[in-house]
Amino acid sequence: MFRGWPTDWKRVPDEDWVNSPVEELALKYDTVEDHGWYRNLDRTIADVAAFVRPGHLVLDYSGGTGILAGRILEEVAERDFGILIADSSPKFLRLAVEKLGRHPRMAFRLIRYLKAEKRLQLLQEVLGEPLLARGLDAVVSTNAIHLYYDLAETLGSWRETLREGGRAFIQSGNVGMPYTPAGAWIIDETVDAIHAAAMEIVREDDTLAAHRAVLDDAARMRKHDAIREKFFLPVRPIDHYLERIEAAGFAVREVTHLPIEAHVDQWYEFLSAYHEGVLGWVGGSRRVEGEEPDEAAVATRLALIARSMERVFEGRSSFQALWTYITADAV
């Protein structure tokens, strides 16, 4: 029984989102755990396992549906430390509670969006005074740092909540590098390649001629490009992250790049859930044209994504995606 949680501090808060039904979107996302490219977690789990000690508290920042936390509990079952998942999605966090909420080593906090200030809450506004006074021993962020708009503020909040000797474990498959080996991909860069291939196919295939008009409408295409960049943010170089990590009060301990095999069919399954952000111009988007596409348009869009992926990956069943792992100490 883990006894490291502060007195009078609830592992599972009494908030509306905790009592909401589990939603289909969260369940669908949670299936990525079975995808081959989610082996990107293996290195992080090994690093966390080598660092944590009995009595430690680990923050899984952007922990989503609890995939990483669940695996850490399984892999390091014999060591008595706590894991707190913090995430900005009540839908994802609700599923995490459903899966892991009864485990005494688990806790959960929702990071709310403050509309008036146009920002997410910082950890200092989320964790509660008892836990802030105690402090955290490690922060883990997987597959998410490239999504943080307020990166400097987020990193600063991590540093302020870490105790002396604390460590941050950061990884992402969407960090730009000066050199990418031939045949390897930064995973979100495949989306732009799929988009480009789809435009070529529409120009070539007369059965898709109805979609050529939007390609010639530069203003509409710019709007769809903007939507794609919201779903899949432009890849930023690694120095962008390292400079901000160090400026927040961390000393970068190690940077590693590892190839992770991604199966094309599984990546298609993932992109299909976000098809509006991939090829929203095929059939239209409510955000641009003001109307939702009909079922036939969505079917055409999904089929075109599949054809484009076939072209981009030259018929191969898998590709190498490069993941970046950063370990940094609080100083």
* 210 DSSP assignment: G
Query: What CATH class is the domain 16-172?
Result: alpha beta
Q: Which residue type does 215 have?
A: L
**Tokens 């599949």 identify what position?**
306
**First CA to last CA distance, the chain:** 32
Distance, in Å, from the CA atom of 91 to the CA atom of 86, rounded to the nearest integer, reads 12
Of the candidates 115, 129, 130, 127, the one whose C-alpha atom is nearest the C-alpha of residue 157 is 127
What are the structural domain ranges in the chain?
A: 16-172, 184-230+264-318
pLDDT at 33: 79
Sort 57 into a burial class: Cβ within 10 Å, 0-12 / 13-18 / 19+: buried
pLDDT tens by residue, 102-117: 999 999 999 999 999 9
Other beta carbons less than 10 A from residue 303's beta carbon: 12
Q: What is the largest CA-CA distance in the chain?
A: 68
Residues with pLDDT less than 70, the chain: 1
**Tokens 């031939």 identify what position?**
182
pLDDT at 133: 94
Q: Is 61 helix (H, G, I), strand (E, B) or coil?
A: strand
pLDDT at 1: 61
**Strand ranges for the chain from DSSP E:** 57-61, 82-87, 106-110, 113-114, 119-120, 136-142, 162-172, 175-176, 184-185, 236-237, 250-263, 318-330
pLDDT at 149: 87
pLDDT at 36: 81
Q: In Å, what is the CA distance from 218 to each residue of 122, 190, 212, 221?
A: 39, 22, 12, 5
pLDDT at 73: 94
| Cβ contact 25:307 at 8 Å | no
Of the candidates 43, 25, 28, 124, the one whose C-alpha atom is nearest the C-alpha of residue 322 is 43
**Strand ranges for 88-224 from DSSP E:** 106-110, 113-114, 119-120, 136-142, 162-172, 175-176, 184-185
Q: What pTM value is reported for the model?
A: 0.92
**Tokens 């009540």 identify what position?**
90
Of the candidates 73, 65, 72, 57, the one whose C-alpha atom is nearest the C-alpha of residue 3 is 57
Q: Is 176 helix (H, G, I), strand (E, B) or coil?
A: strand
